[in-house]
Structure formats: structure tokens, C-alpha cells
Structure 1
Amino acid sequence: MQFDKNKNVFVHRWYPFVEGYSKKFIEDILRELPFVPSCALEPFCGSGTTPVELQNHGIKCYSFEVSPFMHLLSTVKLSRKYNIDSFEYYVKAITKKLSHTNRNIRKLESLPFGDTVVKRNQNKKWNFHDASIDGILDIRHAIRTLVDNDDYKDLFTIALASIILQASNMFRNGKCLSYKKGWKTRIFSRKDIHNFFLDKLNSIFAEDIRIISKENPSVHNSEICYLGDVRKCIQKVPDGEIDLIITSPPYLNSRDYTDIYMLELKVLGLINSHEELRVLRKNTLRSHVQVSYENIIPIENERLKKSLYEMSKNEQKVWNSDIINMICGYFEDMQFLFSEFAKKMRKGGIIYFNVANSAYYGVEVPVDYIIADIAESCGFKVREIRKARDLKTSPQQSAKIGKLRESVIVIDY
């Protein structure tokens, strides 16, 4: 269940997506299936592990991703149109361009939006030192002006994305970005940033492109990855076509992935204003409180109602109605999705649904059991709930709740 196992794996190693699972999870599922799937669905694509691995087995897969960065990452990994000659041609041109940088690069490439990207007079903290962001802008300019093929432009953009956090003053700290220890004096030169990028291209990217160059392109013809909210876009999948769903939706843990991958979204120009950011957050699954939701009536489920009742007895002063609405909205989203899955799946199909339980106000929410109930209310049959591992609770909940169960729900149709 850990993406860490993918860190040295062909194609997946292009960008470290710590929240995902490994290719072995997909391989284990395919080995235990009693049939060979003809068409799959991945409603929460993330970094693309599911569709990439199914593609490697020649299985058609419809996938959806609401984040423009994750969608770009997935489509780059799914595309197998690269060849080593073209790749090396562009690398050589970019290398030459980066050896003669423009002193006024910010006149050619605009800074990412936001008040904390670079040091300003009133700032106490900033995301990038000047030399780092200028080095990144040098690379972005070289890609934009020298790479005239969209497939390679996207490929090099992901290579740039893979060094953004390294070049910044930040690190991923659970649900948010935090500042690295000693970040104020940890300063890279523009040339350092260029070398981070070129080293990635000349090592892992070049190695994998050489392998792709030798593949038969006709084997990889199943990439169907849609950018958008699956709740709005699932109608693009024909009814009765799916016989396998493998997915891991955002957990009910208040984690907003737009926050965690904010640097990539901004630096790559995928989000350019606070309004665009607000719209993106509004289109994500209701699993965080970065946007306010209307008062939501909980779905008919006794386990959910019991959890909400236990929370209501809590006397903590930090009671937050947004959290209650988030919880209710999350399961309302799940109910909608399973009702849609029932339309899209063939009889005899199987779902592998990876989730984790949550805790708020000292009360554990049995997410896996509630989703199992929802699935059965929509005509599915839950075969088993497999415990994958134990997860730590947040510091606020650890006193009352030790660990939270992460599960894979196996569901038959």
C-alpha cells in the first residue's frame, strides 16, 4: 500500500507521489482475479499507478483526475510515444540553452502567483530563494521555447516538477507544506537548479525512454485519462462496460491535495489565481475543509449516525460544523459514486476499494464499514474487508484513539 516501493520502478520513478500505492498492489489483484479483465475504471487516478499498470497488461482503463498536475503526471506516464533520438535531441538543445541564461528571465517568464513565492519586503518566509526560482524559470523558458512537440513538452515539464520541492525551501509534512530546517541559509545557485534538472533527464528519464523506444507502440493503446471531477464526468464511461474497479479515493482525513502539491500547481502555471484555486478545491471530493459546504443531511446509515451522535456529545470547544458537513458530504459523494458504479459495471465485476478510517473529537469513524454498507445498498455484495495496515492518528486524537485501520474492501457485483 506504499508508493515508496515504486521509487525505483520504471516510469513510476519519474515523480515521487508518496500518497499512492505501489504497482505490486495492482499485480497482486490481477493474479487473484478469476477472470482476465477487459475494461477497468479508476475514478481517482492520482499519479496514475492503476492505469499505467493495467496498460502494461493490455487492459483498457477509464481514469479520472481532478488535479491538473496529477492529470498531467498520469498522462505523461501513460504516453509511450517517446523515442530516445528525439529525447536526446531536445535534451541537447535545452542543455545548450541553460549554459547561457538570461539575466532578466523574469521578463520572459512570469513568477508564479502568490505573495510568498519569493522574498518581498514584508515577508518573513518565502517558498524559493531568488536564485532557485530564476533557475526554475530558466528551465521553464527553455522547455517552452525549444520543445515543439507536446508529448515531449509535457515529459520535460514532469522532469521539472520532480525537482521543484528539492529546489524550494519547503518539504511535505503530512497534510501541508512546511519549511525545511535551516532553509534561510540553504541557498542553491541557478546552475545548481539546472544541474538537478539535467541530472534527472540524463539518468532515470533517459534510461526509461531507451526502454520505451524498444517497445511496440501498438501494445499501449488504452490510455483514457480524463481531466475533471469524476462525479460530473463519469457519464463518459459507457454503461455496463466495466468489469474491474481499482481505486483509492482521498481519505476522510481533511487532507487537501491542492495544498500539498501547491508548488507544482503554481510553478507549472496550472493554477494562476486564487479564484482558479477556489474552483479546483470546490471540484474535489468532500474530504477536507478548505472550502465551506452547506449544511448537509447525513445519508441513511446507522454507523454514520452513531459516529455523529458520539461527536455531538463531545464538550470540546473546538467543535467545527465544517468538519461535520465534510463527513456527511464525503459519504454522500460515496453513495453517488456507488450508484454510478452499478450502472457502469457488468454483472460478475469486482471492485477493490482502498480506504482508511478517520477520527474526530475522540470518535473513530468506521469509514470502511460505512462504505461497505453503501455498496450493498447499491446492489453490490461485499466479499471481505481486508486490513491493509494500521495508521497513526493525528496528535489531537492519539490520546483517545491509538491507531486507525486502513482497509481494502473487496466488492462483487
Structure 2
Amino acid sequence: MEMLIEQLETNITALTDRLGVGSKLLAKNWFARHDFLSPPSTNQSTHDLPFQRWYRFKEAFAPRAVLDAISSLDTAPSTCVDPFGGSGTTALTAQFLGIRPTTIEVNPFLADLIEAKLQLYNTEALLTSFRQVVDDASVIRVDPREELWGAPQTLIAPGVGGRWIYSVQVAERILAYRAAIDALTDKASARLLRVLLGSTLVALSNVVISGKGRRYRSGWKNRVVPVSAVHRMFEAAFLNAVEDIVRFGRRPCTSYTLLRGDARVALANATTADFALFSPPYPNSFDYTDIYNLELWMLGYLKTPVDNRELREATLRSHVQIKRSFEATSSSPSLDRTVAELRSRRSEMWDKQIPEMVRAYFDDLIAVLGELHRVVIPGGSVMMVVGDSRYAGVSIDVGKILVELGKGIGFDLSSLSSMRSMRSSAQQGGTYDLDETLVHLIRA
């Protein structure tokens, strides 16, 4: 354990030596707040880390994973690209290391979360905006049923079948704060305040985010959330954010590029980068956008069911929860063998399109890798944290398949390394026997 800490300290020092004294100290102070003993592929130990504590992100790796990846390179990069921005860990960590990030995110709430972390602030303007929002929200009156007419009916009481996520009174307060934020002319402040309001939504609700989705809290029908909790939680989130901005706002690199949209398309607008580091959605037949339904609807990112469908269709074909084309042409020995085995067991599957979804998933990732082959400089590294899946007893070795497919578009394998074992679903045994792997490719 002591050797691990010493190695991590060495990596931090090596990567920050090229920075000025002040920037180096700032970066080291931020990294010092991270629990480096926890697995790097999970962010469970980073919930209290400055900036990361602004929103409890479920699916992410820790800053240590970024640090380890960059430390393994022969030369420290000056630019990086992340096609699946998520909570912004890669981009934020890059800024602390003096590396200019380009990041892409299709989910509009998460895109705002990323930009809120990366951008610079005028703290006086931020405080003024906060006071204005609190004052305006106290007099704004919003009818939740009218404002959220296109949202799922379970969002607001009385809900459907006796189940609902917010009381009418709490929803009114949340929407009043949202309206006050939307009226701000300072867009940077508005973005941050919207994200911070979003960070309170699960705690104010009758549900929790667990595993792969939402579930109702135990005893939720007897749980009373006071209306005053909306302001109390929003204010606490704001004070934490201001503290982080004051202490760590002026990072070694303060510039960035954020591209909003489908990575398969948006990468065409990315400029040259020294390397890429990212973790795409896993082919586990789970629609990741579903986790963020509360934020997307309550904060106004989604207005109609059409908006919801368009967002879901802009994500990788890693799931079968919506009906769409799974036409695909990608082929490799391991992929073809896997799809053939899946098709032979189609009758055992809960959805008959899973074999086609799996091939389509790799088709989408190859589209992303094809763009990265253009973006990343010759000899540059592309690192992906990927996770295996299993259907009807058929294992999908995502890392091996991507290596085979990557060779066909000009990538050489540098290394494959296991990061952790993940638990399979109860239907597939429920044991920790699925690999999460770091795939390191070199752009030929």
C-alpha cells in the first residue's frame, strides 16, 4: 500500500514538474484530496473531491485512472480528447495537469455539468446571480402539471397507480428556482446554478438511484420532504461550489473545447489531439439516459416525449430499450463468433434483438475509433476503459473484439490490462466474473 502511494506521488510530481510553482502546488493540493487506495475504475471515493462533489455521478472512473493513464505515456501530452465526457473527469483532471481537453457529451445535463466544472467564474457575479435567483424564486409561482405536461405522469403526485416522485409543493419550489435561473443573463452563472439545482433532485425525491436505474425508497409513502428543503439543499450545494471555485478555479490549464452531441457525429468537429482517453457505455442493454430522467425533465432539457426519444437515439446502440435500426456491418473473428453464439441462443433471451444490438454496438464504436484515427496524431495513444457483458451464457469480450476491429482501421495494440471484475446480472449468475479492461491502442 505504501509503495502504491509513493508511486502515485511520483506520477503526480512528474506530470506537474513542467508547470509553474503556483500551478504545480494547486494541482498537487487537488490530487491530495483524492482517496488513491480505492479502485481507479470507480468514482465512489471521489464524491467529496472538489468539483466532483457537485453531482454524484453513478458511472465514472476516478481522477486516479486519468493520472495512471497519462503517467504510462512516454511523453506528457499537451492535448487530449474524450468522446464520452460523462461527468468530465478526464477533462477536469487534464486541466489540473496543464493539458488542454476536448470533450464530447450527448446528454445536455451532463454537458452542462462538464462545462460548469471547466469554465472560469467571476465570483462576485456568481454571488449576485445566486442572490437574484433566491429572491426571484420566492415570488415565482409555477403550476407543475402545466410546466411538465410532456413528462412522465409519475413525476408529480398523484402520479400513476399511487406512485409518484415529487409532491406538488416540492415540485413547485424546484420549478420556481429553475425559472429564476433561466431568467439570468449571466450564462456561466446560470449553467452552474442549474447543475447545482440538479444535484438536489434525487435527495428531494421519493426515489434513489441504485444499480442500473431508479427505485422507490423504502417507506417513501410515509416520507415527508419539507418545501424548505429545496432552498436548504440548493444553498449548501452553492456554498460547496463557491469554495471549490475560489480555491481551485484557476487551474494550470483554463481553456477547453466542449462539443455537445452524438460522439459518432460530433468528433468530426474535433481538432488534432495528442491522445484520447474515454469510457464508452457498456453493451449491457441498459439505457444510461434513464438514470438522468429527473434532471432532464425537471430542469427543462426535455419538454416532450419526442425530445426524449431523440436523445435516446443519439446514444450508442448499447441497449434494446427503444426500437431502432440495428443494421451493422462490422466484422472480426471474435465478433462474428460471438454473434453466432448469441443467435444460437436467441430463444433464451429476454429480447430477441440482442445479437443484432451487440454487432451494432461495435459498429458504433468503430465509427468513433475511425474519427479518432483522424484526430489523434500518428504514434498517439487511444485508451478505452470497456466492460464485458453476458447474455444467455454467452460472454462478450469487448476488449478483444475492439483490438481486432481497431487493427482494420489503423490501430496497433499496445496493451490490454484488467482494471476490476464486475458483477454479472442475477440471470447470468450474479458473480464477479465480468472484466473491466483498459485497452491501449497506438495510432499507426
TM over 0.5: yes
The one-letter amino acid of 1:105's match is V
Q: Give the alignment partner of residue 119 of structure 2, picking from 52, 73, 79.
A: 79
Secondary structure of the corresponding residue to residue 87 of structure 2: coil
- Measured against aligned partners, the alpha-carbon deviations of 1:80-128 in whole angstroms (never above 9, x if no partner) come to 1x13322333333344445x455x4328982362211112375421121
The CA distance in 2 between the partners of 1:389 and 1:5, in whole Å, is 15
Instruction: Give yes or no for contact 2:320–2:351 (8 Å, CA) kept in 1.
Output: no
Q: In 2 relative to 1, CA 301–65 (structure 1 residues): closer, same or farther, beyond 3 Å?
A: same
Which residue number in structure 2 is paired with residue 127 of structure 1? 165
- Kept after mapping to 2: 8 A contact 1:66/1:229: yes
Q: Deviations over 1:286-326 (max 9, x none)?
A: 11112223353552211122222222333745453321221
Q: Is this contact kept in 1: 2:126–2:189, CA < 8 A?
A: yes
CA contact (8 A) 2:279 2:386 kept: yes
RMSD: 2.2
Gapped regions of structure 2 (runs ≥ 5): 1-40
| 8 A contact 1:109–1:141 mirrored in 2 | no
**Cα distance in structure 2, aligned partners of 1:109 and 1:93:** 25
Give aligned-pair identity as a percent: 28
Q: How is 1:106-117 mapped onto 2 (pairs within 5 angstroms)?
A: 106=143, 110-111=147-148, 113-117=151-155
**1:295–1:232: structure 2 CA closer, same or farther, 3 Å change rule?**
closer
Equivalent in 236, 241, 254 of residue 205 of structure 1: 241
Paired with 1:30 and 1:308, the residues of 2 have a C-alpha distance of 34
Letter in 1 for 2:339: L
Q: Does 1:411 align with 2:444?
A: no
Name which of structure 1's ranges 162-171 and 173-182 shifts more when overlaid on structure 2: 173-182
CA contact (8 A) 2:97 2:253 kept: no
User: How many residues of Structure 1 are paired with residues of Structure 2 in the alignment?
Assistant: 402
- Pairwise CA distance, 1:37: 1.0
Cα displacement (A) at 1:347: 1.5
Query: Whole-Å Cα distance in 1 between the matches of residues 123 and 254 of structure 2?
Result: 20
2:296 maps to what in 1?
A: 265
Q: Which amino acid aligns with 1:136?
A: I
**Residue pair 1:40, 1:60 contacting (<8 A) in 2 also:** yes
Structure 2 counterpart of 1:29: 69
Residue 325 of structure 1 is aligned with which of 356, 367, 372? 356
- For 2:130, the equivalent position in structure 1 comes to 91
Q: Which structure 2 residues correspond to residues 352-371 of structure 1 after superposition, within 5 A?
A: 352-371=383-402
Q: Name 2:156's counterpart in structure 1.
A: 118
| Aligned counterpart for 1:172 among listed residues 202, 205, 209 | 209
Task: Output the CA distance in 2 between the equivalents of 1:136 and 1:121.
Answer: 17
Provide closer, same or farther for how the CA distance between residues 95 and 122 of structure 1 changes in structure 2, counting only shifts above 3 A: closer
- The farther-off stretch of 277-286 and 229-238 is 229-238
1:140 aligned partner, one-letter code: R
The question of 1:305 aligning with 2:336 is answered: yes
Q: Does 1:3 align with 2:33?
A: no
TM-fit CA distance, 1:30: 2.1
- Whether the 8 Å CA contact 2:62–2:89 is kept in 1: the answer is yes
Q: For 1:36 and 1:406, how far apart are their aligned partners in 2?
A: 25
Give the alignment's TM-score, normalised by structure 1. Answer: 0.91
Structure 1 counterpart SS, 2:154: coil
1:129 aligned partner, one-letter code: S
Return the offset for 1:242: 2.1
Conserved in 2, the CA contact under 8 Å of 1:293 and 1:326?
Answer: no
Q: Distance in 2 between matches of 1:83 and 1:43?
A: 29
Shift of 1:185: 1.4
Corresponding position of 1:52? 92
**Structure 1 position 152, deviation (Å):** 0.3
1:163 alignment partner, SS class:
coil
Q: 1:412, 1:114 → 2: CA distance?
A: 45
Match of 1:20 in 2: 60
| Partner SS state of residue 57, structure 2 | coil
**Residue deviations 1:314-363 (CA, integer Å, cap 9, x gap):** 37454533212210100111222222222222122011110011001111
| 2: CA distance, partners of 1:275 / 1:315 | 31
Say whether the 8 Å CA contact 2:144–2:172 is kept in structure 1: no
User: Larger deviation: 303-312 or 281-290?
Assistant: 303-312
Q: Select 1:284's aligned residue among 304, 315, 319.
A: 315
Match of 2:80 in 1: 40
Task: Tell me if structure 2 keeps the 8 A contact 1:131–1:190.
Answer: yes
SS of the residue corresponding to residue 371 of structure 2 reads helix
Q: Could you say which residue in structure 1 is the equivalent of 2:226?
A: 189
Q: Which amino acid aligns with 2:438?
A: V
2: CA distance between counterparts of 1:110 and 1:295?
Answer: 35
Cross-structure match for 1:140 = 178
Does the aligned pair in 2 maintain the 1:58–1:222 contact within 8 Å? Answer: no
Find the residue that maps to 2:102 and give its secondary structure. Answer: strand
What SS does structure 2 have at the residue aligned with 1:261?
helix
Q: Which ranges of structure 1 fall in alignment gaps of 5 or more residues?
A: none
Matched residue, 1:380: 411
Q: Could you tell me how far 1:170 is from its partner in structure 2? A: 1.2
**Is the alpha carbon distance of 1:236 and 1:196 closer, same or farther for their aligned partners in structure 2, counting shifts above 3 Å?**
same
Alignment partner of 1:228 is 2:261: yes
